[in-house]
A and B are shown apart, each in its own frame.
Chain A
Amino acid sequence: MKKRKINWNYFLIAPALLISVSIILLPGVMTFAYSFTDWNGLSPNINFIGLKNFIELFQDKIFFKAIQNNIIWTLLFLTIPVCIGMLAAMLLLSRKKTRSIYQVAFLIPYVLAPSVNAMLWLNVVFSPVSGVISVFRNMGIDISSPLADMKTAIYGCAAVDIWHYWSYLTVIYLAALRQVPTDQVEAARLDGCNGWQLFRYIYLPNIMSTVSLMFVMITIGSFLAFDYIKLMTGGGPAHATEVLGTYAYSFAFDSMKVGKAAAVGLFISFFGLIASTIYTRLSKNEEMQ
Chain B
Amino acid sequence: MGVTSKKKQFGINFIIHLVLIVLVIICLAPIALVVINSFKTNTEIVSNPLSWPFVLHLENYIQAWKTGNFSVGFINSVKLTGCTVLIVLVTASLAGYVLSGKRIKGSGVILMYFMMAMTVPIQLFLFPLYYAYAKLNLIGNILATSFILAALYMPLSVFLMRTFFLNVPKELEESARIDGAGTWQVIWHIMRPVVSPGLITVAILIGLQSWNEYLISSTFLQGAKNFTATLGFLAMNGSYGSDMGVMMAAASTLIGPIIVFFLCTQRYFVDGMVSGAVKG
Which A residues fall within an 8 A CB radius of B?
7-10, 12-13, 15-17, 19-20, 22-25, 27-28, 30-31, 34, 41-42, 84, 87-88, 91-92, 94-95, 98, 100, 102-109, 111-116, 119-121, 123-125, 129-132, 134-135, 138, 163, 167-168, 171-172, 175-176, 179, 210, 213-214, 217, 220, 223-224, 226-227, 230-231, 244-245, 248-249, 252-253, 258, 261-262, 264-266, 268-269, 272-273, 275-276, 279-280, 283, 286-287
Contacts of A115 in B (CB 8 A): 212, 214, 230-231, 233-234
A28-B125, A172-B274 known; A123+B244 contact, CB < 8 A: yes
Cα of A277 to Cα of B121 in the assembled complex, Å: 14
Tell yes or no: B137 within 8 A of A by CB: no
Of A98, A119, A172, which one neighbours B247 at CB under 8 angstroms?
A119
A12-B97, A23-B147, A276-B116 known; A108+B122 contact, CB < 8 A: no
Across the interface, do A8 and B16 meet the contact criterion of CB distance under 8 Å? no
Which residue of chain A lies nearest to B87 when distances are taken between CB atoms in the complex? Answer: A19
Across the interface, do A31 and B278 meet the contact criterion of CB distance under 8 Å? no
Which stretch in B28-36, B172-180, B192-200 binds the other chain?
B28-36
Of B46, B119, B233, which one neighbours A129 at CB under 8 angstroms?
B46
Across the interface, do B30 and A16 meet the contact criterion of CB distance under 8 Å? no
Contacts of B91 in A (CB 8 A): 15-16, 19
Which B residues fall within an 8 A CB radius of A?
16-17, 19-20, 23-24, 26-28, 30-31, 33-34, 37, 45-46, 48-50, 87, 90-92, 94-95, 97-99, 103-104, 110, 112-132, 147-148, 150-152, 154-155, 158, 182-184, 187, 208, 211-212, 214-215, 219, 230-231, 233-234, 237, 244, 247-248, 251, 254-255, 258-259, 262-263, 266, 269-270, 273-274, 277-280
Contacts of A132 in B (CB 8 A): 33, 49-50
- Taking A168-B273, A210-B277, A276-B118 as known contacts, 9 extra A-B pairs with beta carbons closer than 8 A to each other, sorted by chain A number, are A13-B94, A15-B94, A19-B87, A20-B114, A103-B270, A223-B121, A262-B128, A269-B123, A272-B120
Of B31, B119, B121, B230, which one neighbours A265 at CB under 8 angstroms?
B121
* A216 CB to nearest chain B CB (Å): 9
* B201 CB to nearest chain A CB (Å): 14
A16-B154, A102-B20, A163-B27 known; A119+B123 contact, CB < 8 A: no
A23-B148, A172-B273 known; A280+B116 contact, CB < 8 A: yes
